[in-house]
Amino acid sequence: MAQQPLLSLPEFQSVSTGTLVVKEPLNFWAGARVKPSNTKNSEPVYEPATGRVLCDMIPCGEEEVDQAIKSAHSAYLKWSQLSGMERSRIMLEAARIIRERRDAIAKTDVANNGTSITEAKVDIDLAWKCIEYYAGIAPTLSGQHIQLPGGSFAYTRREPLGVCVGIGAWNYPFQIAAWKSAPAIACGNAMVFKPSPMTPVTAVMLAEIYKEAGVPDGLFNVVQGGPETGSLLCHHPMVAKVSLTGGVPTGKKVLEMAAKGVKQVTLELGGKSPLIIFNDCELENAIKGALMANFLTKGEVCCNGTRVFVQREIMPKFLEEVVKRTKAISVGDPLCEGTRMGALISKPHMEKVLGFIKQAKEQGAKVLCGGEQFVPNDPKLKDGYFVSPCVLDNCRDDMTCVKEEIFGPVMSVLPFDTEEEVLQRANNTTFGLASGVFTRDIARAHRVIANLQAGMCYINNYNVCPVEVPFGGYKMSGFGKENGALTIEYYSQLKTVVVEMGDVESLF
Ligand X SMILES: NC(=O)C1=CN([C@@H]2O[C@H](COP(=O)(O)OP(=O)(O)OC[C@H]3O[C@@H](n4cnc5c(N)ncnc54)[C@H](O)[C@@H]3O)[C@@H](O)[C@H]2O)C=CC1
Ligand Y SMILES: C[N+](C)(C)CCCC(=O)O
**Residues identified as active-site:** 268
Q: How far apart are CA 224 and CA 206, in angstroms?
A: 14
**Per CB under 6 A, 301 contacts ligand Y:** yes
Window contacting ligand Y (CB under 6 A); options: 4-12, 30-38, 298-306, 483-491: 298-306
**Per CB under 6 A, 172 contacts ligand Y:** yes
Q: How far is the CB of 435 from ligand Y (least distance, A)?
A: 14
Q: What is the CA radius of gyration of the chain?
A: 24
- Which are the contacts of 40, defined by CB distance < 8 A and separation ≥ 6? none
**Per CB under 6 A, 197 contacts ligand X:** yes
- For 49-84, letters b (16+ CB in 10 Å) and e give bbbbebbbbbbbbeebbebbbbbbbbbbeebbebeb
* E strand intervals along 107-199: 145-147, 153-160, 163-167, 190-194
Count of residues near ligand Y by CB under 6 A = 10
**Per CB under 6 A, 7 contacts ligand Y:** no
- For 179-203, letters b (16+ CB in 10 Å) and e give bbbbbbbbbbbbbbbbbbbbbbbbb
Sign of the CA dihedral 457, 461, 462, 465? Answer: negative
Following DSSP, what letter does each residue of 54-105 receive, concatenated? EEEE----HHHHHHHHHHHHHHHHHHTTS-HHHHHHHHHHHHHHHHHTHHHH
370 versus 472: smaller Cβ distance to ligand X: 472
**Per CB under 6 A, 466 contacts ligand X:** no
**Per CB under 6 A, 269 contacts ligand X:** yes
Per-position x/- string for 379-408, each x denoting binding to ligand X as judged by CB under 6 A, each - no binding = --------------------------x-x-
**Per CB under 6 A, 32 contacts ligand Y:** no
The DSSP call for residue 329 is: P
- β-pairing, 456-459 vs 434-438, is parallel
Residues 122-181 that bind ligand X (CB under 6 A): 167-171
64 versus 123: smaller Cβ distance to ligand Y: 123
**Per CB under 6 A, 290 contacts ligand Y:** no
Residue nearest to ligand X (CB): 230
Window contacting ligand Y (CB under 6 A); options: 259-267, 294-302, 357-365, 488-496: 294-302
Residues 234-263 that bind ligand Y (CB under 6 A): 245
**Per CB under 6 A, 341 contacts ligand Y:** no
What's the farthest any 2 CA atoms get from each other in the chain? 88
Interacting residues with ligand X (CB under 6 A): 167-171, 194, 196-197, 226-227, 230-231, 234, 244-247, 250, 253-254, 268-271, 302, 405, 407, 433, 473
Which residues would be at the binding site for ligand Y (CB under 6 A)?
Answer: 123, 171-172, 245, 296, 301-303, 463, 465
